[in-house]
Amino acid sequence: MGAEDQEDRIDQSVDLGGIMEKGGIWVWVEHWEGMERAVAHELLGKARELADRMGRQVVALVSGAKAGQAAERVQGHPDLILVLEAPGCPKPEAWEYIQALENLCRDGSPFMLMAPSSLRSMEWMPRLAVRLGRSMVSEVTGLDLGEGQTLLVRRPLHGGRFLVELESCGLPPYLVGVRPRAFARKEGSRMAQLERIPVEAGPGAVEVLEWFQDLGLGPELTEASVVVAGGRGMGGPESFQMLEELAGLLGGAVGASRSVVDSGWRPASQQVGKSGKTVSPDLYMAMGISGAIHHIMGMDSSRVVVAVNRDPNALIFNHADYGVVEDLKDFLPALIQELKAKG
Amino acid sequence: MEIFVLVKTVPDAEARMELLQDGSGLRLEEKWELSFFDAIAVEQALRIKEKMSGVRVSALSYGPRFALEGLRKAVAMGADRAIHLEASQLQWVEPMEVAWHLAQALRKENPELILCGRKATDDEAAQVGPMVAGFLGIPYLGPAVALELQEAQGSLEVVADLGGAREKLRCRLPALVSAQKGLAEPRVPTIQGVMKGMRLQPEKMGLEKEHIPQAGWRLRGFGRPAGRAPVRMIQGDDAASKARELLRLLKQEAKLL
C-alpha cells in the first residue's frame, strides 16, 4: 500500500562478526547535533549492569548528523559503539537508519535493544518492532533479569497510580523504551571500539523540510533533576521570572500547570501533567499549584515533592513531602535570598 | 476523501481505581472518556472535513464494551461513522496486537489519512499509531502540532514536536499522523451531537482469529508504587524563616541541594 514497504532492503555489507558477539545489550543513543541526551548515560549504565550479570556485550548505536561526536561522549560503559552513517541524511530517526537497524538486529541478534521512551524514539521503535515482529514495552521504569534468561520489566499505569510487571515470553530482541530518570547515571571507564557503518540513503518516504530547536527553555523538563513548577497561584506570567531565577539557582527546569499553559503564561513544552509531560526529578517544587489529578499524574513519581500554597487545604499537600502555607509573593523572594546567601 | 481516526476510551481521570487483592488486575469505576489526544485527532479530522468537500470522517476503536463511550464522543463532535472492533476485556493487551487488529480493519477501508492521539492517557504507550503505520507500510508523522493537506498534490505537511525541537515534514498520502496538544482544540459537542452520540449504534467488526502477532510479554501482576509519607508542614514566623527551615530539611533530611 505505501512507500515504506516498497523500499528495497539495504544490503548490510559491513562484517561485524569479528568484533560483535550475539546476544548483547544494545542502547540507542539519542542526541542533538552531537550532544547526547542525559538519558543515554542512564540507559548505558543499566545496560552495563545487566550485561555484566549475563556476561554479554554492551553496544551503543548512534546515527544522524555529528553522530561521531556523540559517540565519543558516551564512552565509559559500551564495549562497542556503532556509528551509522548516511551522508545527506541528518535525521537520526530517518527511515534509512531504521532499515539499517533492522538489518543489524537480524544479523547481531541482540538480547535487548533499549531506547529512551521519548517523543523522538517512539517515532521509530514501534515501527522497528513491527518489522522485527517483536512486541515492545515503553515507559519502562524497572528492568531486571528473570529466571531462564527472561527479562522482567515494570512500568507505571494510570498516571503512576499503579505499576504493571511483565515478563518476556517471546523471542529476543526485547525492545524496551525506558523513561528518562528511571535509572541513575553511573560513571564507567571503558573505552569502546568505534565502528563506522555506512548506510545507504535512499529517497525516504518522508521529507524533512525544516528543523528548528526550541531555544532558551533551559534543560529538558523530563531530564532535569530539579523541576520548579508554577500554577495559577503564581498570580500572572510576570512572576514566573522568580521561578526562572530559582530554577537557575538550583540547576533545574521550570514547569507549569495546565491552566497556566492554557492561559498563555508559559509555553506548552513546559506543561507537566496528563496532557503534558511526565517528570520524575529528585526535587519537584509545586508553587501555587492546587493539585488536580491531571497534574498529579505528571509528577507523582518525583523523589521529593515540596508544595507551597496559600490554601492550607490544597490537594497538592496530599502528594508532597514538605508543605509550606505561605503567599508566594513573600515566599519566593525569601527562598531566592536564602539560596543566594548560602552561595 | 476518507479519514479514519483511531480512538481509545480510557478511564476518566477522576474514576475510582482499585488494585485487586491478589494483584492480578485493577478494578475501574465505570466512568469513561475519550482519550485526551484522540479528541484532538477527531477535531483535526473535522476541520479538514469542513474545509474540503467530499470528506468522510470515521472513528475506529478497538476495545471491550466500554469502547462505545469514546465512539459516542467522536460522533457527538461530528464524526460521520463509528466502527467498533469488539475485543474481550483483559487486564493487559499488547499495543502490537491492538495495532495489528486496527490495521486489518483499515486495510478493508483504505483511508487516505489516518489520525490518532500521540498517546493514550491511561497506559501512555505511544505505540499503536506508529505500529499501525508500520503494518500498513505507510509513513508515520508526528506528534503533530500543525497539519496541512495539499489536496491537489495528494500530499501532506506536518510540524512535528520532538520535545526540544520541531521539524516540518512532508509526505504523500496515504499517511498516519499522531496528534499533539496544540494541533486543534477539541470542540464542545452541540446538544444535537450529544443526542446523536447517545443513539449511536456503531458498525461492529469482529476480530480476526488467525495470524495474530505472537505475544512478547506475559503479565505478572499489578502493584502500587511506594507511597509517600504524610506531608510535613513547615512552621515558622514569617516567609524567611519558613524558607530557611525548608532548605535545612532538603539538605539534611532529604539529602538534596
First to last CA, chain A: 62
CB contact under 8 A, B13 and A282: no
A24 and A116 belong to one structural domain: yes
A160 and A303 belong to one structural domain: no
CB contact under 8 A, A301 and B225: yes
Unique residue bearing C-alpha cell 517471546: A170
B161 located within any domain: yes
Distance from C-alpha of B173 to C-alpha of B152, rounded to nearest angstrom: 11
B218 located within any domain: no
A211 located within any domain: no
Lay out the sheet containing A162-168: strands in order across. Answer: A142-145, A151-157, A162-168, B217-223
CB contact under 8 A, A174 and B157: no
Distance from C-alpha of A305 to C-alpha of A280, rounded to nearest angstrom: 10
Contact criterion met (CB below 8 Å) for A255 and A279: yes
Contact criterion met (CB below 8 Å) for A273 and A297: yes
Give the residue on B whose Cα is nearest the Cα of A134: B216
How many domains, chain A? 2
For an interface test with B, give the residue of A91, A162, A293 to mutate (most B CBs within 10 A): A162
B190 and B63 belong to one structural domain: yes
CB contact under 8 A, B229 and A129: no
Phi-psi sector, A153: left (phi>0), alpha (psi -120 to 50), beta: beta
- Which among A307, A222, A332 has a CA at the least distance from the CA of A270? A222
B115 and B193 belong to one structural domain: yes
Q: Which residue, of A198, A233, A266, is where some domain finishes?
A: A198
Kindly report, residue by residue over A238-294, the tens digit of the pLDDT.
Answer: 999 999 999 999 999 999 999 999 999 999 889 999 999 999 999 999 999 999 999
B213 located within any domain: no
Distance from the B67 Cα atom to the nearest Cα atom in chain A, whole angstroms = 17
A214 located within any domain: no
B154 and B197 belong to one structural domain: yes
CB contact under 8 A, A137 and B225: no
Lay out the sheet containing A193-198: strands in order across. Answer: A136-140, A174-178, A112-116, A25-28, A58-63, A80-85, A193-198
Spacing of C-alpha A313 from chain mean position: 34
Summarize the confidence of residues A13-25 as an average pLDDT. 81
Give, in order, the Cα–Cα distances in Å from A66 to each of A33, A40, A69, A99: 5, 16, 5, 20
A9 located within any domain: yes
Please list, in sequence order, all residues whose beta carbon lies within 8 angstroms of the beta carbon of residue A156, skipping any fewer than 6 positions away.
A139, A141, A162, A163, A164, A301, B124, B225
- Which among B89, B88, B126 has a CA at the least distance from the CA of B6? B126
Contact criterion met (CB below 8 Å) for B177 and B158: yes
| Low-confidence residues of chain B: pLDDT under 70 | none
B38 and B107 belong to one structural domain: yes
A122 and A257 belong to one structural domain: no
A207 located within any domain: no
Q: Where are the alpha helices (DSSP H) in chain B?
A: 36-51, 67-77, 95-109, 128-136, 191-198, 239-252
CB contact under 8 A, B215 and A169: yes
Contact criterion met (CB below 8 Å) for A314 and A332: no
Is residue A304 less than 8 Å (CB to CB) from chain B? yes
Distance from C-alpha of A194 to C-alpha of A69, rounded to nearest angstrom: 11
For an interface test with A, give the residue of B6, B167, B183, B235 to mutate (most A CBs within 10 A): B167
A278 located within any domain: yes
Distance from C-alpha of A199 to C-alpha of A203, rounded to nearest angstrom: 13
Give the residue on A whose Cα is nearest the Cα of B178: A123
Kindly report, residue by residue over B173-191, the tens digit of the pLDDT.
Answer: 999 999 999 999 999 999 9
Return the minimum-mean-pLDDT range out of A20-24, A176-180, A303-307.
Answer: A20-24
CB contact under 8 A, A130 and B257: no
Distance from C-alpha of B128 to C-alpha of B170, rounded to nearest angstrom: 21
Is residue A335 less than 8 Å (CB to CB) from chain B? yes
B253 located within any domain: yes
Give, in order, the Cα–Cα distances in Å from B18 to each of A50, A242, B15, B132, B134: 33, 40, 10, 32, 35
A184 and A320 belong to one structural domain: no
A13 and A137 belong to one structural domain: yes
Distance from the A21 Cα atom to the nearest Cα atom in chain B, whole angstroms = 23
Phi, psi of A92 (to 5 degrees): -65, -20
A265 and A338 belong to one structural domain: yes
Residues of B in contact with A210 (CB under 8 A): 167-168
B145 and B236 belong to one structural domain: no
B84 and B163 belong to one structural domain: yes
Domain enclosing residue B148, as ranges = 2-205
Contact criterion met (CB below 8 Å) for B64 and B87: yes
CB contact under 8 A, B239 and A326: yes
A76 and A162 belong to one structural domain: yes
B252 and B190 belong to one structural domain: no
Q: How many CB atoms lie within 10 A of CB A267?
A: 14
Q: Is the pLDDT of residue A72 over 70?
A: yes
B212 located within any domain: no
A190 and A240 belong to one structural domain: no
SS3 B220: strand
For an interface test with A, give the residue of B31, B217, B241 to mutate (most A CBs within 10 A): B217
The DSSP bridge partners found for residue B140 are: B176
Is residue B15 less than 8 Å (CB to CB) from chain A? no
Q: What is the ipTM of this complex?
A: 0.94
Residues of A in contact with B139 (CB under 8 A): 2-4, 205-206
Contact criterion met (CB below 8 Å) for A275 and A248: no
B217 located within any domain: no
A181 and A247 belong to one structural domain: no
B195 and B241 belong to one structural domain: no
Q: Is the pLDDT of residue A96 over 90?
A: no
Q: Is the sign of the CA dihedral B116, B119, B123, B128 positive or negative?
A: positive
Taking only residues 30 to 89 of chain B, the set having a beta carbon closer than 8 angstroms to any beta carbon of chain A reads 36-37
Q: So what's the pLDDT on residue A90? A: 77
B176 located within any domain: yes
Provide the CATH number for the domain around residue A23: 3.40.50.620
Q: So what's the pLDDT on residue B218? A: 96
Is residue B26 less than 8 Å (CB to CB) from chain A? yes
Distance from C-alpha of B156 to C-alpha of A131, rounded to nearest angstrom: 24
Contact criterion met (CB below 8 Å) for A221 and A256: no
Q: Which residue, of A198, A229, A244, is where some domain finishes?
A: A198
Provide the CATH number for the domain around residue A297: 3.40.50.1220
A137 and A258 belong to one structural domain: no
CB contact under 8 A, A135 and B110: no
For an interface test with A, give the residue of B246, B249, B251, B253 to mutate (most A CBs within 10 A): B246
Q: Are strands A193-198 and A80-85 parallel, antiparallel or unpaired?
A: parallel
A232 and A174 belong to one structural domain: no
Summarize the confidence of residues A168-196 as an average pLDDT. 95
Provide the CATH number for the domain around residue B11: 3.40.50.620
Is residue B90 less than 8 Å (CB to CB) from chain A? no
Kindly report, residue by residue over A214-229, the tens digit of the pLDDT.
Answer: 655 556 889 999 999 9
B125 and B238 belong to one structural domain: no
B127 and B231 belong to one structural domain: no
CB contact under 8 A, B224 and A162: yes
B77 and B189 belong to one structural domain: yes
Distance from C-alpha of B257 to C-alpha of B249, rounded to nearest angstrom: 10
Q: So what's the pLDDT on residue A86? A: 87
Q: So what's the pLDDT on residue A257? A: 97
B146 and B241 belong to one structural domain: no
Please list, in sequence order, all residues whose beta carbon lies within 8 angstroms of the beta carbon of residue B240, skipping any fewer than 6 positions away.
A334, A337, A338
CB contact under 8 A, B134 and A130: yes
A12, three cell numbers: 548490510
A181, three cell numbers: 530518570
Q: Is the pLDDT of residue A1 over 60?
A: no
Is residue B227 less than 8 Å (CB to CB) from chain A? no
Residues of B in contact with A317 (CB under 8 A): 231, 233
Domain enclosing residue A33, as ranges = 3-198
A19 and A160 belong to one structural domain: yes
A167 located within any domain: yes
How many domains, chain B? 2
Is residue B94 less than 8 Å (CB to CB) from chain A? yes
Q: Is the pLDDT of residue A17 over 80?
A: no
Q: So what's the pLDDT on residue A332? A: 97
SS3 B7: coil
B243 located within any domain: yes
Give the residue on A whose Cα is nearest the Cα of B91: A164
- The share of chain A scoring above pLDDT 70, in percent, equals 93
Is the omega angle on the peptide bond into residue A203 within 30 degrees of 0, that is, cis? no
